[in-house]
Amino acid sequence: MNKKTRIAILGIGGVGGYLGGKLAHKYANSDDFEIIFIVRGENKRAIKENGLKIITLNEEIWASPDIASDMTDEIGEVDYLVCCTKSYHLESALESLRECISSNTVILPFLNGVDSKERIEKLFPEAEVWDGCVYIMVRLIEAGVVQEFGNIHKFHFGSTDGSPKKLDFLENLLIDADIETYLSKDIKQTIWDKFLLISAIASLTSYLDLTIQEIFANEKHKQTLIELMQELKAVGEAKGVNFSEGIIEKTVSILGKTPPETTSSMHSDFQRGGKTEFESLTEYVVNQGKILNVPTPNYEMIASELSKTR
């Protein structure tokens, strides 16, 4: 009997719930694959009792993983570990799973920010670590229920030094599960292109306490947004990143078309008074600018003000 390929999803929130749910739905009762949700609390209870419900724009999907647990002895060693946590939970979440990770484990982060890979490699230098990013509008609206709010659900991943066989394997696995997946030839560019969007708009919406369209309605605010993108682009280029052609103009156009109530998740977290991704999305740019001697005056001003509210 062939050994099943064990694929674990860490963090069953919006992104992890959508991805894991699609996989669990496709590969239910499979002889070849075992889908594991690493989940805790009320969300774990709901999924173990009723499964996970995914509400897309076109349908509702019910899925039950082979395992839903946060206990390492129940999870066991995994072949692929897909990380969908908040960036500030990455290290602690992975440390708690050390028994489940071996030199044969592939770790793939789908997190906000651009330094996930290097952070993981510090913890698990023996593992094969890839990189990835996601374009999707999806939320965990209640325990065991994930809802999609937009028609964009793209998963990009890649690695310059990963196993081509394993990269192709996971790409095909995700595509077969009806997940829009792209194996990127330049994953660093893909991630930094997205980072330019989310970092600038997360920082500015949080600082001004405004929605995206409220920012676009004010020429001064819109200009500040463009200057933030220019600063971040300069930092990225100093790190050797080749951004897509016309990336600032493309990003401004995308943001300008968002619905009136749209804001960033970091802004929402600040409004709730909860933990935020400030360090990964705002402070990171300031710190890298100082290291690389690249001026980031707007980022520095915003970082200084936001740090007072944390």
Compute mean pLDDT per 10 residues along the chain, 310 residues long, and list them: 88 96 96 97 96 93 96 97 95 96 97 95 96 92 92 92 96 97 95 96 97 96 98 98 96 90 90 92 98 98 91
User: Residue 299: which of 222, 252, 246, 229 has the closest Cα?
Assistant: 229
Residues whose CB falls within 8 Å of the CB of residue 81, separated by 6 or more in sequence, listed in order: 8, 10, 97, 100, 101, 105, 106, 107, 108
pTM score above 0.85:
yes
Residues whose CB falls within 8 Å of the CB of residue 223, separated by 6 or more in sequence, listed in order: none
CATH number corresponding to 189-307: 1.10.1040.10
Torsions phi, psi for 154 (to 5 deg): -105, 130
Q: Which residues in the chain are classed under CATH 1.10.1040.10?
A: 189-307
User: How confident is the model at residue 203, as a pLDDT?
Assistant: 98
User: How confident is the model at residue 153, as a pLDDT?
Assistant: 87
| 273 burial type by CB count under 10 A (0-12 exposed, 13-18 middle, 19+ buried) | exposed
State the CB neighbour count (10 A cutoff) for residue 256.
Answer: 12
CATH number corresponding to 5-185: 3.40.50.720
Q: At what angle do helices 14-26 and 164-176 cross, to 10 degrees?
A: 80
Q: Which residues in the chain are classed under CATH 3.40.50.720?
A: 5-185
Instruction: Report CA dihedral (245, 229, 238, 123) to the nearest 10 degrees.
Output: -110
Q: How far apart are CA 217 and CA 285, in angstroms?
A: 26
User: How confident is the model at residue 2, as a pLDDT?
Assistant: 66
**Which residue(s) pair with 54 in the sheet?**
61, 146
User: Residue 12: which of 20, 4, 22 has the closest Cα?
Assistant: 20
Q: How far apart are CA 146 and CA 138, in angstroms?
A: 7
**Which residue(s) pair with 36 in the sheet?**
8, 67
User: How confident is the model at residue 137, as a pLDDT?
Assistant: 85
User: How confident is the model at residue 246, as a pLDDT?
Assistant: 97
User: How confident is the model at residue 82, as a pLDDT?
Assistant: 98
